[in-house]
Amino acid sequence: MDLSETQHPITCWNQYLIRSSKVYRELAELRRQGWQNSEGDTHFANQRQRADNATAEAKARFFRMMEEIGEEMNSFSSILTLANPTSYKPSRVLDLCLAPGGFSSTVLRLNPGAIIRGTTLPPSLGGHEIQIPAWETHPRLRIKFCDITMRAGEMSLEPAMVREEHPDRINLDFSTSLFAGEKDEPFDLVICDGQVLRTHASARAEYREHREASRLTLSQLVTSLQRLQGAGDNGRLVMLLHKPDALDTALLLRTLSMFAQLRLFKPRRKHALRSSFYVLATEVRANSDEAARAISGWKKDWTVATLGTDEEWKAHRAENVFKLDVVQKLVTDFGRELIRIAEPVWDIQASALKRAPFLAKRDK
């Protein structure tokens, strides 16, 4: 593919997808129509308002919805069904950003004997409440309340590497153990379902606002891969992402494909209008050279996103993401495969947009 040196790399990548995939071309047009429709803005604004001010009943519905998404995901892939329950060694699952707990609830039901460890943002900082019944005393479940993006020790940082005046210096956690008092045993499956919460905004330093989505993704990636390293070549990873067509996301999927088998899953009813989807990675070779290089790169990205200035973060992104030769290599190495695995996701969102009230009216 010849890329124009006068066009932005994102534009070039988007044009490649439009030319190469009829499914994506249709979705891109529907998205364009949605962006131009104020009723669509109102629809999603109302959803955000309800989510940020959820009643107890709404919180229970959200929990059940996440259970249903987990059930649909497992019907699609069996990724949440682990080792034979008669095995002498119980399966171990790490659920990052666990609350409200729908996925863990589904895993517990599907896998008698499985042990689950989870992390989640404290409700006092804007995190969701845990809805799993009697979770505090559940014999197979332990949950740590923390901001996973603050785990500097996970990123191989030491206190001396952080300047005294950094706004989050006192909030950074330099420990390397995730659960105090427990041996860091490997996990068979890691679930990464975190997303930046608006209810957490008041607790975040200003520098984080335009970097938080990247910091959260990077924190989950490093934590998960380092906890899968004892699972041989059979680790499993479930991760929430947005827009497989986004340049950042496509680059991440290419990286994961270098040491895992990938499938993309999007629920057909829940959140079908949104751009969210899950990457399901199996046969994760977390000890491979490719995984080691990825982890090293993600740690560097996180360090710049957390300790760097706005200018340093912008320059880092320009060098590693928003660059024509980066897009050229992505197209050459992974373009066709990305389209193959992403088209079902695009098709589900496109079908939902066609039915959306704020777009259906355009034909009347």
212-227 tens-digit pLDDT: 999 999 999 999 999 9
Q: Domains in the chain, ordered, with CATH? A: 55-80+88-363 (3.40.50.150)
What integer is the mean pLDDT of 21-27?
Answer: 98
What's the CA gap between 68 and 62, in Å, rounded? 10
231-254 tens-digit pLDDT: 778 899 999 999 999 999 999 999
What's the CA gap between 176 and 156, in Å, rounded? 8
pLDDT of residue 270: 83
Contact criterion met (CB below 8 Å) for 202 and 112: no
CA 362 to chain centre: 33
pLDDT of residue 262: 98
| Percent of the chain residues topping a pLDDT of 70 | 90
| Percent of the chain residues topping a pLDDT of 90 | 77
Q: What is the pTM of this model?
A: 0.92
Count of CB atoms situated within 10 Å of the CB of 187: 24
User: Is 50 exceeded by the pLDDT of residue 278?
Assistant: yes
pLDDT of residue 310: 95
Q: Which helix (H) or strand (E) holds 238?
A: strand 235-242
Contact criterion met (CB below 8 Å) for 323 and 9: yes
Which is more confident, 343 or 3? 343
Q: CA triplet 100, 113, 137: central angle to 5 degrees?
A: 50
| Range list of H helices, the chain | 9-20, 22-35, 38-52, 56-77, 102-110, 212-227, 247-257, 289-307, 310-320, 324-355, 357-360
